[in-house]
Copies of this chain bind each other. A is one copy, B any other.
Amino acid sequence: MRPYFAAALLFPAALHAQALRDQVRSWREAREPQIVREYSDFLAIPNVASDPASLRRNASTIVGMLQKRGVTARLLENGQYPPAVFGELRTPGATRTIVIYAHYDGQPVDPKEWRGGAPFSAQLRELRGTDWVDMPVPASGRLNPEARIFARGAGDDKAPIVALMYALDALKATGRTPAINIKFFFEGEEEAGSAHIVPILQNNRALLAADAWLFCDGPTHQSRQLQVAFGARGSMGLELTVYGPARALHSGHYGNWAPNPGMLLADLVRSLRDPDGKILIAGFYDDVLPPTAAELAAVRGLPPVDSALRAELLLGATEARSALLAERIMLPGLNLRGMRVGQVEGLAANAISTEAKASFDFRLVPKQTPDHIRSLVEAHLKANGWFVTHAAATDAERLAHTKVVRMTWGAGDEATRVSLDQPISQALTATLDEMLGKPVLRVPTLGGSLPTATIESTLGVPLVIFPIANHDDNQHAKDENLRLQNLWDGIEAYAAIMMRLEAHWPRITP
């Protein structure tokens, strides 16, 4: 906890911040059904990569939403790719400029998997027992704050976009204007790996100039409290194919003579990580910095969630036993996304398969680079007797080597992590501490990955992460949802940031 915090409570500024919060809250409490209906209209515009026309309709809708609030707004075009939305709100006399990032695109959907079968028809639901039950949106009155809006994009990541709009409305309705220069940058390709964001950033450097970026994506804390995250892990995908016999063989006539690619794959997978989660690739942890004292203190000050999560997830144990989730995600990780060989159960045949496949995602921490990790993994496999190829293995290669593996790497992103005592870190936490009347949660890093490294390295600007969606929002899955209280909290937090961040972020002139 920062020393100014206890002091701040004694000063009028803190009282002012809480008055602001209460007024924003009253404003919202008077129009909850209206907000849900308007949000449902926005969610009705499909936002998947396979439907670029609808993506563009999202972008132009957001331009309209910004302009309606007096924000100068336009599209930042990027050839054939989805445009970003840019908005700007200049404040006379402000000395700080912040870019607020969110994304309007969502993960692919399979409507058959969704309850109701219509991922873009937003539906309000309440939990009754263990069942989410459809609810009509009333004409007026308060809503159950534990109710949720179900639709693709509801949590990830249209929620910050609408919360920002209502924060602007609430400020205006209570006679205020923001006290900082605000730029909005809403991306349309985050779920596709932000593959074409760099040209947008490079072509609009002057437009995007700012003191810091506020990255509004990801989940709030599992305790349902707001959190600020100072970084995100990097990520990198890896696909492996291990080769077996050229044609599938009868397991009786050729079993325990012809090598089984699934068995070889199990051996390979097991060689990468022990069952306790320790990565066994030589040199993998060499670049990993130990957590700072401030990071450790922050992590250990978080509300305990591990026991409740273990119970909810039916986990008899976690990796590295006593280590906390928040500590574990400060380390790099290696996750097995899938394995595919032969068939199981009713489809299983008594056969030796021709190949076996595995898919991994690495999670990287600061100082680890995708290039270096790639070379360590390949060296590990070679040291374990594997012949490594990056294309389909040729007949000659298969005949010449005992064990042959094809490796296909994803592009890879580095991690980002800003210090907890950077000016933007201090300003944001002070603003939220003041608004909440208690310290906002501080997590050194999210476990997940965001295009933060791309933005940081392209623009050279510090970046902090402030998520508002519930952690259990089924992001990327069927029945994605947003808990109403998370939306309400987001509106109040954005209003506080717009009004108070500048005051906590003095520009030190030399």
Q: Which residues of B contact A329 (CB under 8 A)?
A: 252-253, 255-257
Q: Does A97 contact B (CB under 8 A)?
A: no
* Closest B residue by C-beta to A275: B267
Q: Is the CB of A260 within 8 A of B336?
A: yes
Contact of A325 among B257, B323, B352, B448 (CB under 8 A): B257
Q: What chain B residues lie within 8 Å of A195 (beta carbons)?
A: none
Knowing A262-B336, A337-B344, the reply to whether A319 touches B257 (Cβ < 8 A) is: yes
A348–B343 touching, CB < 8 Å:
no
Between-chain CB contacts (< 8 Å), 13 pairs: A237-B348, A250-B476, A253-B446, A256-B332, A257-B318, A259-B277, A259-B318, A266-B270, A267-B275, A316-B403, A345-B357, A349-B476, A350-B361
Given A314-B246, A350-B235, A398-B314, A257 contacting B337 (CB threshold 8 A): no
A139 within 8 A of B: no
Residues of B contacting A336 in the complex (Cβ-Cβ under 8 angstroms): 260, 262-263, 266, 341-342
B239 and A315 within 8 A (CB): no
Instruction: Give the CA-CA distance A352 to B363 in the complex, in Å.
Output: 13
A129 proximity list for chain B (CB < 8 A): none
- What residues of B have a CB within 8 angstroms of the CB of A118 in the complex? none
Max chain B Cβ within 10 angstroms of own Cβ: one of A318, A339, A350: A339
Q: Which of A245, A335, A446, A476 gathers most chain B CB within 10 Å?
A: A335
A207-255 interface (Cβ within 8 A of B): 219, 232-233, 235, 237, 239, 243, 245-255
Cβ–Cβ < 8 Å partners of A349 in chain B: 337, 476
Expressed in whole angstroms, the minimum distance between the Cβ of A424 and any Cβ of chain B is: 23
- Give the docked Cα–Cα distance between A471 and B254 (Å): 11
A448, B341: Cβ atoms closer than 8 Å: no
A44 at the interface (CB under 8 A from B): no
A252 touches which of B275, B347, B357, B447 (Cβ 8 Å): B447
The reply to whether B339 and A266 contact each other, CB–CB distance below 8 Å, is yes
Q: Does A281 contact B (CB under 8 A)?
A: no
CB contacts (< 8 Å) of A318 on chain B: these are 257-259
Measured between C-beta atoms, what is the minimum distance from A153 to chain B in Å?
Answer: 16
Question: Are B446 and A259 neighbours in the complex by a CB distance under 8 Å?
Answer: no
The 6 closest A-B pairs by CB, nearest first: A338-B342, A252-B448, A266-B269, A256-B333, A251-B335, A348-B359
- Asked, given contacts A329-B253, A336-B266, A342-B336, whether A319 binds B248 with beta carbons under 8 Å apart, the answer is no
B residues less than 8 Å from A253 (CB atoms):
219, 329, 446-448, 471
**Separation of A116 and B288 alpha carbons in the complex (Å):** 58
10 A-B pairs besides A250-B448, A256-B334, A339-B342 with CB distance below 8 A are: A232-B252, A237-B348, A245-B313, A267-B270, A275-B403, A335-B352, A336-B341, A338-B353, A339-B344, A348-B361
| Alpha-carbon separation in the docked complex, A310 to B257 (Å) | 10
Cα-based distance from A402 to B316 in the complex (angstroms):
5
